[in-house]
Chain A
Amino acid sequence: MTAIKYLSLTKGQRFLVNFGGFFKNLGRGFIGFFKRLPFKFIRLGHKLSRPFETLVDAWKKGTWMVRGNFLVFGLYQLFHNQIMRGLLYLIYEIVFIWFMITIGGPYLGKLGTLGTFSPTSMYVADAYEGLTVTLPGDRSFTILLYSIVTFILMIIFVALWYFSIRDARSLQNSYAVGKYEKNGQFFKDILDKNYHTLLLAVPLVGLVGFTVIPVIFMIITGFTNYSGTQFYLFDWVGFDNYQNLFSGVSSTANGSGLVTIFLKVLAWTLMWALIATFTNYFLGMVVALLINKKGIKLKKLWRTVLILTIAVPQFVSLLLISQMFSGSGFLTKVFENIGWIAHDTLPFDNALLSRIIIIIVNMWVGVPYTMLICSGLLMNIPEDLYESARIDGATPFKMFSSITLPYMLFITGPYLLSQFVGNINNFNIIYLLSQGKPSFGLSSLGYGDVGQTDLLITWIYKMSMEGQDKNYAVACVLGVLVFLIIAFFSLVLYGRSNSVKNEGDFQ
């Protein structure tokens, strides 16, 4: 469509064109992604083949000591003035082998069955008197966890094996041209050329131990029947958890399948994320505009009042507000007097009302943030834009919709995206306010007491952390689904905001 054609359309038609264009672009983006896929694989292939070339080269052209590195890590380095480097390689090799023999190997062997041996008490006839001995059984949890750790150590092992050989080969090369690296070079490099290893070592260990391993564990547990309560044994179940969630086999009290509940929670999660993000964004911007309006005094006071919400710990303010909606709460009484709720019921007994309350309270929590962010940015909008608009006779509303809003949307696109994703996982506000009430009445089925204001994230929490009917494996499946949803939105929206960026600066 040409620009002239587009301009000749009426407003409604333009909207339709833009609306259709969004999906057209979306589709184009997907097709483009798959078109590029083969090239990506080819490039990956090149990348992967390079290490093999290096290894072959080292074996062919290396001295016998370089070849020795294939078996003993850091051998060449140890004998060529690189004691520190050689030792580090060697120590890892020794520790790894020791680990594999004592811990890794035995646990890895049991991974296929997740252990078969439950703890048993045995009567041992002793020379003196009979003794009851309890033989410790296998713990599937431990087997799974240690297997993951072993796999990670194995990957590091292979990587270090490769690095030690490559390093030896390049050392040999520099020796051949008469460049002798001194021992101290290691320490010099670590402050300069290899500074990133020094900086990232500790953060990475923390990341792997407390995030990477738990996330891998979580993904894998989705394929077992671990409910979170079995101390000893559980089993692989393949895709059963996924199937149960989607096939709707287990039906609830009111006859609808689990999948309907899942879809309801998902729909509310997405609806909530959308509404929460945009209400906060627009209201925050409006408040910022009001405060920054020319001739308005006490700017600092207004801002300070709003910032109070950010300063006070969120659990305090949210728990307090939830108290206002409890049985003897102040707002419950008010609602009752207005007639919004019947006598002796709570606001959170009504699905629609609780959803509205949550969105409004979320504005109370979130508007100050947007206000702060927008305040600074609003002052950056060139004043002459407004000036010329005023001369052309634009109304304040027109100025807002044609200058302020496009500018702000352009600048804060990434922020909006992260807010949207953050709201999908907005645990605090739901959990501290309504705790998901009113309930679907699902508690007897062993999928947690999920309710109509529950987001996926709070449902996961209920299923994995509290209550009697824990179901950790299904919670993990939901966790993976949450990941997929967020990844989808990030990919689609981020790609779009990038393409916006490439179109040039805001005009």
Chain B
Amino acid sequence: MAEKKKLVSKRFAEKSQRALVYFVLTLISLIWVFPFFYLIFQSFGKYASGGIFPASGEWTFQNYVNLFTLPETPFLKWWINTFVIAFFTALLQTILVLMTSYALSRLRFNGRQALMKLILILGMFPGFLGMLVIYYILELLGMNTSIFSLILVYTASSAMSYYVAKGFFDTIPKALDEAVMIDGGTKNTVFWRVILPLSKPIIIYTILVSFTGPWGDFMFGKYITQTAGMLPDGYTVAVGLQGLTSNSDYYGTFCAGAVLVSIPITALFFWLQRYYVEGIAGGAVKG
């Protein structure tokens, strides 16, 4: 009898514990989702309301219409600019990162350690202090007023982000390389025939990270577009939307723009989520 009672109370404890966990998880989820719902509701409001929902009678689509019609918010152009920048950044950066990582992981040459140390040290300086110089160089190259300057800025230092891909390459058995070399292959063949086919997850991870980067960066974008005195037509979405927040008249428009930026990026992210998780988890353990 006592035994049974104990079992029942144990089951009860387990159940209540589980209920507690569900409760906590639900609470956490609500907290984490709340800002996004808030964003969506606010994007349909006429004015910035103090509450979560727009006041009754103030629901409107006007914010979305404004984005595409107002001359000071050429949202479509921002979106296309950002897409072009992100596309080329993803392409170039992935190629450069793979090249650097392969060289640092698989090849042994003089100065390899020194190069890795140099990159580590360079990473400790606040990067944006160099913007003045970078801008001067862009001016010298005559491309400071085009969006291609941003592609250059985002990709030029790709070598600095070799860590994750190198960590991945390090785990590919060296025996495979040796097999190719014995068959008369070169290190070039190893790269194309062994490493790249095995690296699909890390390639997708690199593309994903470098593609989403330009959508979120506003620091470099703002500095270059402002210093060059570009028209709003040349902005990226981040620069454009950040500019909107300074004026409360555009509050709803900002929310609408934020929704429209977030949807494609979020969709892309969830589509490739698996690779992202693998990438950051691997990078964290290998440091």
Chain A interface residues toward B at CB < 8 A: 141-142, 145, 188, 191-193, 195-196, 199-200, 202-204, 206-207, 209-215, 217-218, 228, 287, 290-291, 293, 295-296, 301-302, 304-317, 319-324, 326, 328-330, 333, 364, 368-369, 372-373, 375-377, 411-415, 417-418, 421, 425, 427, 457, 460-461, 464-465, 472, 475-476, 479-480, 482-483, 486-487, 490
Q: Is B33 interfacial (CB-CB < 8 Å)?
A: yes
Which B residues are in CB contact (< 8 Å) with A309?
A: 32
- Flag B41-73 by CB within 8 Å of A: 1 or 0 each: 000000011111000000000000000000000
Which B residues are in CB contact (< 8 Å) with A375?
A: 281
Q: How far is the CA of A192 from the CA of B109 in the complex (A)?
A: 12
Known: A211-B160, A296-B21, A311-B270. A461 touches B285 (CB 8 A): no
Q: How far is the CA of A465 from the CA of B281 in the complex (A)?
A: 35
Whether B28 lies near A211 (C-beta < 8 A) is no
Whether A212 lies near B122 (C-beta < 8 A) is yes
Q: Is B173 interfacial (CB-CB < 8 Å)?
A: no
Which A residues are in CB contact (< 8 Å) with B136?
A: 141-142, 145
Which B residues are in CB contact (< 8 Å) with A465?
A: 128, 131, 223
Chain B interface residues toward A at CB < 8 A: 18, 21-22, 24-25, 28-29, 31-33, 35-36, 38-39, 48-52, 96, 99-100, 102-103, 107, 109, 112, 115, 118-122, 124-134, 136-137, 152-153, 155-160, 186-188, 191, 212, 215-219, 223, 238, 241-242, 245, 248, 251, 254-255, 258, 261-262, 265-266, 269-270, 273, 276-277, 280-281, 284-287
Whether B33 lies near A308 (C-beta < 8 A) is yes
Whether B280 lies near A369 (C-beta < 8 A) is yes
Whether B36 lies near A195 (C-beta < 8 A) is no
The listed residue (A308, A310, A316, A460) touching B129 by CB distance below 8 A is A460
Query: What residue of chain A has the Cβ atom nearest to residue B219's Cβ?
Result: A427
Which A residues are in CB contact (< 8 Å) with B128?
A: 427, 461, 464-465
Query: What residue of chain A has the Cβ atom nearest to residue B24's Cβ?
Result: A290
Known: A196-B107, A372-B277, A476-B129. A312 touches B96 (CB 8 A): no
Whether A479 lies near B100 (C-beta < 8 A) is no
Whether A199 lies near B124 (C-beta < 8 A) is no
Whether A483 lies near B124 (C-beta < 8 A) is yes
Q: How far is the CA of A328 from the CA of B188 in the complex (A)?
A: 61
Which A residues are in CB contact (< 8 Å) with B258?
A: 316, 319-320
Whether B285 lies near A203 (C-beta < 8 A) is no
The listed residue (B124, B127, B187, B242) touching A192 by CB distance below 8 A is B187
Whether A302 lies near B29 (C-beta < 8 A) is yes
State the main secondary structure of chain A at its contact with B.
Answer: helix
Extra inter-chain contacts (19) besides given A314-B216, A316-B241, A490-B124, CB under 8 Å: A195-B103, A195-B107, A203-B158, A207-B122, A211-B157, A213-B133, A218-B125, A218-B130, A290-B21, A301-B29, A307-B269, A311-B262, A320-B38, A324-B35, A328-B50, A377-B281, A413-B287, A476-B129, A479-B129
Whether A306 lies near B18 (C-beta < 8 A) is no
28 contacts between A and B (CB under 8 A): A192-B188, A199-B99, A199-B100, A202-B96, A206-B155, A206-B159, A207-B160, A210-B152, A210-B153, A212-B118, A213-B133, A296-B18, A302-B28, A306-B29, A313-B212, A313-B216, A317-B35, A323-B254, A324-B35, A329-B48, A329-B50, A364-B32, A377-B281, A417-B287, A460-B126, A464-B129, A480-B125, A487-B121
Whether B156 lies near A209 (C-beta < 8 A) is yes
Whether B159 lies near A214 (C-beta < 8 A) is no
Query: What residue of chain A has the Cβ atom nearest to residue B188's Cβ?
Result: A191
Whether A475 lies near B129 (C-beta < 8 A) is yes
Q: How far is the CA of A296 from the CA of B118 in the complex (A)?
A: 47
Whether B156 lies near A210 (C-beta < 8 A) is yes
Whether A203 lies near B219 (C-beta < 8 A) is no
Known: A202-B96, A364-B32. A483 touches B125 (CB 8 A): yes
Closest CB-CB distance, B106 to chain A, in whole Å?
Answer: 9
The listed residue (B32, B133, B187) touching A308 by CB distance below 8 A is B32
Report the number of A-B residue pairs with Cβ-Cβ less than 8 Å.
Answer: 248
Closest CB-CB distance, B11 to chain A, in whole Å?
Answer: 12
Query: What residue of chain B has the Cβ atom nearest to residue A213's Cβ?
Result: B133
The listed residue (B96, B126, B262, B285) touching A206 by CB distance below 8 A is B96
Q: How far is the CA of A209 from the CA of B219 in the complex (A)?
A: 19
Whether B39 lies near A320 (C-beta < 8 A) is yes
Closest CB-CB distance, B7 to chain A, in whole Å?
Answer: 16
The listed residue (A200, A373, A425) touching B103 by CB distance below 8 A is A200
Q: How far is the CA of A322 from the CA of B255 in the complex (A)?
A: 13
Known: A196-B107, A296-B18, A412-B284. A316 touches B126 (CB 8 A): no
Whether B129 lies near A312 (C-beta < 8 A) is no
Which B residues are in CB contact (< 8 Å) with A209?
A: 137, 156
Which B residues are in CB contact (< 8 Å) with A290?
A: 21, 24-25
Which B residues are in CB contact (< 8 Å) with A417?
A: 287
Closest CB-CB distance, A310 to chain B, in whole Å?
Answer: 7
Which B residues are in CB contact (< 8 Å) with A199?
A: 99-100, 102-103, 107
Q: How far is the CA of A465 from the CA of B222 in the complex (A)?
A: 10
Whether A372 lies near B281 (C-beta < 8 A) is yes
Which B residues are in CB contact (< 8 Å) with A193?
A: 187
Known: A211-B157, A215-B125. A192 touches B21 (CB 8 A): no
The listed residue (B99, B270, B284) touching A415 by CB distance below 8 A is B284
Which B residues are in CB contact (< 8 Å) with A418?
A: 287
Which B residues are in CB contact (< 8 Å) with A460?
A: 126, 129
Which A residues are in CB contact (< 8 Å) with B215?
A: 313
Whether A195 lies near B24 (C-beta < 8 A) is no
Query: What residue of chain A has the Cβ atom nearest to residue B130's Cβ?
Result: A214
Q: How far is the CA of A324 from the CA of B241 in the complex (A)?
A: 16
Known: A210-B130, A320-B38. A312 touches B155 (CB 8 A): no
Q: How far is the CA of A192 from the CA of B38 in the complex (A)?
A: 57
A-B pairs with the 10 shortest C-beta distances?
Answer: A214-B130, A414-B287, A210-B156, A311-B269, A206-B156, A192-B186, A415-B284, A203-B159, A313-B216, A191-B188
Q: How far is the CA of A114 from the CA of B136 in the complex (A)?
A: 17
Q: How far is the CA of A482 from the CA of B128 in the complex (A)?
A: 13
Q: How far is the CA of A211 from the CA of B157 in the complex (A)?
A: 7
Whether B269 lies near A376 (C-beta < 8 A) is no
Identify which of A228, A307, A377 gathers the most chain B CB atoms within 10 Å of its CB.
A307
Q: How far is the CA of A360 from the CA of B255 in the complex (A)?
A: 23
The listed residue (B24, B36, B132, B276) touching A312 by CB distance below 8 A is B36
Q: How far is the CA of A314 from the CA of B209 in the complex (A)?
A: 13
Whether A479 lies near B125 (C-beta < 8 A) is yes
Closest CB-CB distance, B62 to chain A, in whole Å?
Answer: 18
Whether A200 lies near B99 (C-beta < 8 A) is yes
Which B residues are in CB contact (< 8 Å) with A195?
A: 103, 107, 186-188, 191
Which B residues are in CB contact (< 8 Å) with A291?
A: 25
Query: What residue of chain B has the Cβ atom nearest to residue A427's Cβ?
Result: B219
The listed residue (B48, B112, B265) touching A328 by CB distance below 8 A is B48
